[in-house]
Structure 1
Amino acid sequence: MISKFIFHKVLGWKLVGDFPRDLKKYVVIGAPHTSWKDFPIAILARNSFDVKISFIGKASLFKPPFGFIFRALGGTPVDRSKRTNLVDSIVDVFNSKDEFRLALSPEGTRAKVTEWKTGFYYIAKGAKVPVVMFAFDFENKQIKVAEPYYLTDNMKADMNHIYDFYRNIKGAKPELFSVPDRD
């Protein structure tokens, strides 16, 4: 497969861990999201793992002339200017499909943030699916994938578990990545 060749041989990246093959539904969270490079690396890694994972992106990415590419790669546009209940809409998608894996960035942007968005958490809770953590470790040129994490009824403990996975990961632009402190 060409993606695997580019990912491993040309770019020199490694895969650490794997996506669960026995689970047909889960939310994938990818961080640190600090550079435009994250997207092509993620697509190459996803294709190397040979697992179907969809993603959402800002609607402007899906406009001509290149919007068709993002759709072909498994993307769905989201209009962030409208105040709709995106979480409920995505939960409905999970509930309507036999197989669905969705990747999101908990940071929600490539800019530095001090607090992560929690939509992924509420989507996973609402759809009753686990979260699979996916890290862009540019320092070691590795994509790290954690075992599925089943959320509890303690959001603080769940978020601290998630933050701990990413705590020592260096993104493409480390100065733009921040893991919130434990409470």
Structure 2
Amino acid sequence: MMRSICTFLFKASGWTFKSDLPKDLRSFIFLGAPHTSNHDFVPAMAVATLMNRNTRFIIKDDWVKFPMSLIMKPAGAIGLDRKKLAEAGHASNTDVMAQLFKDYKELVLMIAPEGTRKATDAWKTGFYYIAQKAKVPIVLGYADFPKKIAGTGPVIYPTDFEKDMKQIMDFYRNITGKVPANFKLDSRYQ
């Protein structure tokens, strides 16, 4: 229901979805950037729906408890309780997230690489290690607010961290988020 509402709002407000994903690419890490505002939720959910794949995202466990579970779970949220993971002896969050690709036959895991809606010079790079561990590619997703275009960009098969991160930064260089001042490229890879 939530995804349908977001897709309706997306289309009704004049947004365009662009994607040339191969039809047989069913499991991957999906980067969502720029992530500058809570307003990113509508195009993100629309893109998740329009890709026509099992698109999910990780969120704090509290957000998938009643009553928020009524909204967040159908939207694709998977709750992550970091305290319980640490107590259970899990090596890292990247291991747990990579395991999801074994738990689900097809999975698109949406991740906001900046890790915050505020401007940051250093992105979280866990997405790269999750992709490596799960042996899945990384698809660059975007929502360009001034142009009202959202969708999928290049598919990157992780092979060379530095080179791949530079390619990611080059792609996002000309994408503008809802709050432009809240988006920075990772200064380590420009």
TM-score by length of 2: 0.86
Letter in 1 for 2:134: A
Deviates more, 1:138-147 or 1:170-179: 138-147
Tell me, what secondary structure is at the counterpart of 2:155?
coil
> For 1:62 and 1:2, how far apart are their aligned partners in 2?
19
Bigger mean CA offset, 79-88 vs 166-175? 79-88
Greater Cα offset, 121-130 or 88-97: 88-97
Residue in structure 2 matched with residue 140 of structure 1 by the alignment: 147
Greater share of helix: 2
Q: Hey, what does 1:168 align to over in structure 2?
A: 174
Distance 1:41 1:4 in 2: 8
CA distance in 1, matches of 2:128, 2:41: 21
Residue identity matched to 1:13: W
Bigger Cα displacement from structure 2, 61-70 vs 109-118: 61-70
Give the match for residue 132 of structure 2: 125
Equivalent residue number for residue 25 of structure 1: 27
Q: Is the contact made by 2:29 and 2:136 (CA closer than 8 Å) also made in structure 1?
A: yes
Q: What is the distance in 2 between the residues matched to 1:144 and 1:24?
A: 15
Q: Which residue of 2 aligns with 1:7?
A: 10
Change (3 A) 1:3 1:48: farther
> Counterpart of 1:135 in structure 2: which amino acid?
Y
- Structure 2 distance, partners of 1:151, 1:50, is 24
CA distance in 2, matches of 1:121, 1:57: 18
- Bigger mean CA deviation after superposition, 104-113 or 54-63: 54-63
Aligned residue type for 1:159: M
Structure 1 unaligned spans of 5+: none
SS for the counterpart of 2:156 is coil
Greater CA deviation, 122-131 or 83-92?
Answer: 83-92
Q: Distance in 1 between matches of 2:75 and 2:20?
A: 20
Q: Distance in 1 between matches of 2:32 and 2:168?
A: 11
Distance change (3 Å), C-alpha of 1:3 and 1:175: closer
Any gaps of 5 or more consecutive residues in structure 2? none
Give the C-alpha shift of residue 80 in structure 1.
4.6
Q: Percent identity?
A: 37
List per-residue Cα deviations over 1:119-166 (Å, max 9, x = no partner): 1000001111100000110010110311321111x2111100111110
Whole-angstrom distance in 2 between the partners of 1:151 and 1:165 = 15
Q: Aligned equivalents of 2:6 and 2:38: distance in 1? A: 18
Instruction: Give the root-mean-square deviation of aligned CA atoms.
Output: 1.9
